[in-house]
A and B are shown apart, each in its own frame.
Chain A
Amino acid sequence: MQLKNLLKVSCLAIFCFFAVSVMAQNKVITGKVTDSHDGTSMPGVSVVAKGSTIGTNTGPDGSFKLSMPAGNNTLEVSFIGYAKQEVDITGKTNVHIALVGTATALSEVQIVSVGYGSQRRKDVTGAISSISAKDFNQGEATNPLLQLQGKVPGLVITNAGSDPTGTPTVRLRGQTSITGNQNPLVVLDGVLLDDPNQLRNIPPGDIASVDVLKDASAASIYGARGANGVLLVTTKKGREGGTSISYDGYAGVDKQSKYYDLLNRGQFLDAISKLPNVTVSTYDKGGNTDWQKAVTRTAYTNSHAVAISGGSKNFNYRGSVSYLNQQGVAINNDKNMLGLRFSAQQKALDNKLEINMGITYSRIKQNYNNINYDYVFNTPPTYPVYNADGSYYAYSLDYNGHNPVQHAALTLNNSYENLAILYATADYNIIPSLKIGVMGATNPDHTQNNKFNPAFPTEGNINNAKAESYDANSYKTNIHINYDKTFGKHSVSATGVYEYNDYFTNNFTAYGENYLVPENLNNNLQGGNPQKSAITSNKTEYKLISFLARVQYNYDSRFYATASIRRDGSNKFGANHEWGYFPAMDVAYRLKRDLLKDVEWIDDLKIRAGYGVTGNSDAIGPYSAIGLYGTGNTYYDPSDKTFPYKPSYQPSQNPNPDLKWEKRQGTNVGINFSLFNNRLSGDIDYYNDKTKDLLYLYHVPTPPFLYSTILANVGNLSNKGVDIGLTGQPIVGKDFNWTIGGNITFVKTRITKLSGTYNGFNLAVDQIPLGNALGRGLSSTPITYLKPGYAPFVFYLPHYTGVDANGNELFDGQTVDKYPGGIPPSHYIDPSPKFNYGITNTFNYGNWSFNFFLRGVYGQKAFNNTLLQFETVTRLPGNNTTRDALTNGVKSAPTASDRWLQGASYLRLDNAALGYTFNKIKGISSLRVYLATNNLFVITKYKGIDPEIANAISYTPDPSNVTPQNQSYIDNNPYPKTRSFVIGANFSLK
Chain B
Amino acid sequence: MKKGINIKHIGAMLCLAMLTQACTKLDKNVYSNATENNFPKTPAQVTAVVASAYNAMTSIGNDGNTFVLNEVTTDEMVVPTRGNDWYDGGKWQSYWTHNIKVDDNTVNGAWGDISSGITKCNFVLNLLASQSGVSPATIAEVKVLRAYYFLKFIDMFGSVPLVTDYNTDPSKVKQATRADVYAFIESELTTNAPLLSTKGQSKDASTYGHLNQWGAYMILAKLYMNAQVYTGTPQWAKAAAAADKVIQSGQYSLQPIMLDNFAVVNDGSVENIFVVPFDNTYIKGFSIEMNTLNYVNNLTFGLTGQPYNGWCTPTAFFRSFTDQDARKKMWLIGQQYSSTGQPLVDVKTNLSVVLSPYVLQLSNPADTFRYAGARSIKYYPQAGTAGDMSNDGVIFRLSDAYLMKAEAEIRAGAPGDALTLVNAIRTRSGVPVWSASDLTLPNLLAERGREFAWEGWRRNDLIRFEVADGVKYYTGPRVPEKVQDAADNHTLILPIPSQQKISNPNLNQNPGY
Residues of A within 8 A of B (CB): 279, 282-283, 395-401, 430-431, 434, 436, 459-462, 479, 481, 498, 500, 531-532, 537-543, 545, 547, 569-571, 578, 623, 626-630, 632-639, 645-652, 698-708, 760-762, 764-766, 775-781, 821-823, 874, 877-879, 893-894
Q: Count chain A CB atoms within 10 A of each CB in B34, B166, B201 and give the residue with the most.
A: B34
What distance in Å separates the Cβ of A815 from its nearest Cβ neighbour in chain B? 13
User: A703 contacts which of B58, B122, B346 (Cβ < 8 Å)?
Assistant: B122
Of the A-B pairs whose beta carbons lie under 8 Å apart in the complex, a sample of 29, sorted by A's number, is: A283-B350, A398-B296, A430-B5, A460-B303, A460-B305, A461-B304, A538-B32, A626-B36, A627-B36, A628-B30, A630-B33, A632-B51, A634-B279, A639-B206, A650-B120, A701-B161, A701-B173, A702-B112, A702-B118, A702-B119, A706-B119, A708-B115, A762-B505, A777-B83, A778-B87, A778-B89, A781-B88, A878-B348, A893-B81
Q: What are the residues of chain A within 8 A of B119 when measuring CB–CB?
A: 702-706
Q: Are B51 and A635 in contact (CB under 8 A)?
A: yes
Q: What are the residues of chain B within 8 A of A650 when measuring CB–CB?
A: 49, 52, 55, 120, 123
| Closest B residue by C-beta to A570 | B26
In the complex, whether B323 has a CB less than 8 A from a CB of chain A is no
| Closest A residue by C-beta to B309 | A399
In the bound assembly, the distance between CA atoms of A349 and B32 in angstroms comes to: 49
Known: A700-B170, A776-B84. A649 touches B206 (CB 8 A): no
In the bound assembly, the distance between CA atoms of A571 and B308 in angstroms comes to: 46
User: What are the 8 A-B residue pairs with the smallest beta carbon separation, nearest first?
Assistant: A878-B348, A701-B504, A893-B84, A703-B163, A639-B206, A650-B52, A636-B277, A777-B84
In the complex, whether B135 has a CB less than 8 A from a CB of chain A is no
In the bound assembly, the distance between CA atoms of A647 and B44 in angstroms comes to: 11
Q: Are A649 and B283 in contact (CB under 8 A)?
A: no
In the bound assembly, the distance between CA atoms of A270 and B171 in angstroms comes to: 66
B residues 114-134 touching A (CB-CB < 8 Å) = 115-116, 118-120, 122-123
Known: A430-B8, A650-B55. A878 touches B33 (CB 8 A): no
Q: What are the residues of chain A within 8 A of B483 when measuring CB–CB?
A: none
Q: What are the residues of chain B within 8 A of A702 when measuring CB–CB?
A: 111-112, 115-116, 118-119
Q: Are B89 and A781 in contact (CB under 8 A)?
A: yes
Among B15-23, B223-231, B246-254, B464-472, the one that faces the other chain is B15-23
| Closest B residue by C-beta to A401 | B348
B residues 1-29 touching A (CB-CB < 8 Å) = 5, 8-9, 12, 16, 19-20, 23-24, 26-29
Known: A633-B55, A703-B163. A545 touches B115 (CB 8 A): no
In the bound assembly, the distance between CA atoms of A766 and B498 in angstroms comes to: 11
Q: What are the residues of chain A within 8 A of B105 when measuring CB–CB?
A: 780
In the bound assembly, the distance between CA atoms of A241 and B270 in angstroms comes to: 91
In the bound assembly, the distance between CA atoms of A628 and B26 in angstroms comes to: 18
Residues of B within 8 A of A (CB): 5, 8-9, 12, 16, 19-20, 23-24, 26-36, 39-40, 45, 48-49, 51-52, 54-55, 58, 81, 83-91, 93-94, 99, 101, 105, 111-112, 115-116, 118-120, 122-123, 161, 163, 165-166, 168-171, 173, 201, 204-206, 208-209, 267, 277, 279, 281-283, 295-296, 298-299, 302-306, 308-309, 346-350, 365, 367, 370, 384, 386, 499-500, 502-505, 507
Known: A571-B28, A627-B35, A648-B55. A479 touches B19 (CB 8 A): yes
In the bound assembly, the distance between CA atoms of A780 and B119 in angstroms comes to: 27
What distance in Å separates the Cβ of A3 from its nearest Cβ neighbour in chain B? 54
Q: Count chain B CB atoms within 10 A of each CB in A652, A780, A894 and give the residue with the most.
A: A780
Q: What are the residues of chain A within 8 A of B91 when measuring CB–CB?
A: 780
Q: What are the residues of chain A within 8 A of B347 when measuring CB–CB?
A: 395-398, 401
In the bound assembly, the distance between CA atoms of A401 and B348 in angstroms comes to: 9
Known: A279-B350, A532-B281, A779-B88. A569 touches B26 (CB 8 A): yes
User: A539 contacts which of B31, B87, B120, B505 (Cβ < 8 Å)?
Assistant: B31
Q: Are A823 and B503 in contact (CB under 8 A)?
A: no
Q: Are A639 and B205 in contact (CB under 8 A)?
A: yes
Q: Are A822 and B84 in contact (CB under 8 A)?
A: no
| Closest A residue by C-beta to B366 | A277
Q: What are the residues of chain B within 8 A of A539 when measuring CB–CB?
A: 31-32
Known: A399-B308, A636-B279, A704-B170. A431 touches B502 (CB 8 A): no
In the bound assembly, the distance between CA atoms of A540 and B205 in angstroms comes to: 39
| Closest B residue by C-beta to A282 | B350
| Closest B residue by C-beta to A628 | B33
What distance in Å separates the Cβ of B134 from its nearest Cβ neighbour in chain A? 16
User: A780 contacts which of B88, B123, B384, B504 (Cβ < 8 Å)?
Assistant: B88
What distance in Å separates the Cβ of B123 from its nearest Cβ neighbour in chain A? 6
Q: Are A638 and B201 in contact (CB under 8 A)?
A: yes
New contact pairs (20) apart from A639-B205, A703-B161, CB-CB < 8 Å: A398-B370, A430-B5, A461-B386, A462-B304, A479-B20, A532-B281, A542-B28, A571-B26, A626-B28, A626-B30, A636-B277, A645-B283, A650-B49, A701-B503, A702-B116, A702-B119, A706-B120, A777-B83, A777-B86, A779-B88
In the bound assembly, the distance between CA atoms of A700 and B303 in angstroms comes to: 40
| Closest B residue by C-beta to A481 | B16
In the bound assembly, the distance between CA atoms of A716 and B234 in angstroms comes to: 53
What distance in Å separates the Cβ of A698 from its nearest Cβ neighbour in chain B? 8
Q: What are the residues of chain A within 8 A of B120 when measuring CB–CB?
A: 650, 706
What distance in Å separates the Cβ of B72 from its nearest Cβ neighbour in chain A? 14
In the bound assembly, the distance between CA atoms of A700 and B505 in angstroms comes to: 11
| Closest A residue by C-beta to B171 | A761
Q: Are B23 and A649 in contact (CB under 8 A)?
A: no
Known: A461-B305, A498-B16. A651 touches B123 (CB 8 A): yes
In the bound assembly, the distance between CA atoms of A459 and B386 in angstroms comes to: 12
Q: Are A822 and B90 in contact (CB under 8 A)?
A: yes
Q: What are the residues of chain A within 8 A of B111 when measuring CB–CB?
A: 702
Q: Are A648 and B48 in contact (CB under 8 A)?
A: yes
| Closest B residue by C-beta to A498 | B20
| Closest B residue by C-beta to A462 | B304
Q: What are the residues of chain B within 8 A of A578 when measuring CB–CB?
A: 26
What distance in Å separates the Cβ of B73 from its nearest Cβ neighbour in chain A? 16
Known: A430-B8, A626-B28. A399 touches B20 (CB 8 A): no
User: A638 contacts which of B40, B169, B206 (Cβ < 8 Å)?
Assistant: B206
| Closest A residue by C-beta to B149 | A703
Q: What are the residues of chain A within 8 A of B171 when measuring CB–CB?
A: 760-762
Q: What are the residues of chain A within 8 A of B16 when measuring CB–CB?
A: 436, 479, 481, 498
Q: Are A638 and B205 in contact (CB under 8 A)?
A: yes
What distance in Å separates the Cβ of B148 from its nearest Cβ neighbour in chain A? 15
Q: What are the residues of chain A within 8 A of B26 when measuring CB–CB?
A: 543, 545, 569-571, 578
Q: What are the residues of chain B within 8 A of A570 when measuring CB–CB?
A: 26
In the bound assembly, the distance between CA atoms of A455 and B233 in angstroms comes to: 60
Q: What are the residues of chain A within 8 A of B296 when measuring CB–CB?
A: 396, 398
In the bound assembly, the distance between CA atoms of A703 and B122 in angstroms comes to: 9
In the bound assembly, the distance between CA atoms of A531 and B346 in angstroms comes to: 34
In the bound assembly, the distance between CA atoms of A778 and B308 in angstroms comes to: 14
Q: Are A649 and B48 in contact (CB under 8 A)?
A: yes
Q: Are A647 and B48 in contact (CB under 8 A)?
A: yes
Q: Are A874 and B8 in contact (CB under 8 A)?
A: no
Q: Count chain B CB atoms within 10 A of each CB in A462, A498, A635, A652 and give the residue with the most.
A: A635
| Closest A residue by C-beta to B10 | A430
Q: What are the residues of chain A within 8 A of B306 when measuring CB–CB?
A: 396, 399-400, 459
Q: Are B49 and A398 in contact (CB under 8 A)?
A: no
User: B503 contacts which of A537, A630, A649, A699 (Cβ < 8 Å)?
Assistant: A699
What distance in Å separates the Cβ of B275 from its nearest Cβ neighbour in chain A? 9
What distance in Å separates the Cβ of A840 from its nearest Cβ neighbour in chain B? 46
In the bound assembly, the distance between CA atoms of A646 and B50 in angstroms comes to: 12
Q: Are A878 and B24 in contact (CB under 8 A)?
A: no
| Closest A residue by C-beta to B112 | A708
Q: Are A874 and B51 in contact (CB under 8 A)?
A: no
Q: What are the residues of chain A within 8 A of B303 when measuring CB–CB?
A: 460
Q: Count chain A CB atoms within 10 A of each CB in B20, B87, B209, B507 and give the residue with the most.
A: B87
Q: What are the residues of chain A within 8 A of B309 when measuring CB–CB?
A: 398-399
Q: What are the residues of chain B within 8 A of A481 when measuring CB–CB?
A: 16
What distance in Å separates the Cβ of A278 from its nearest Cβ neighbour in chain B? 9
What distance in Å separates the Cβ of B171 from its nearest Cβ neighbour in chain A? 5
Q: Are B85 and A623 in contact (CB under 8 A)?
A: no
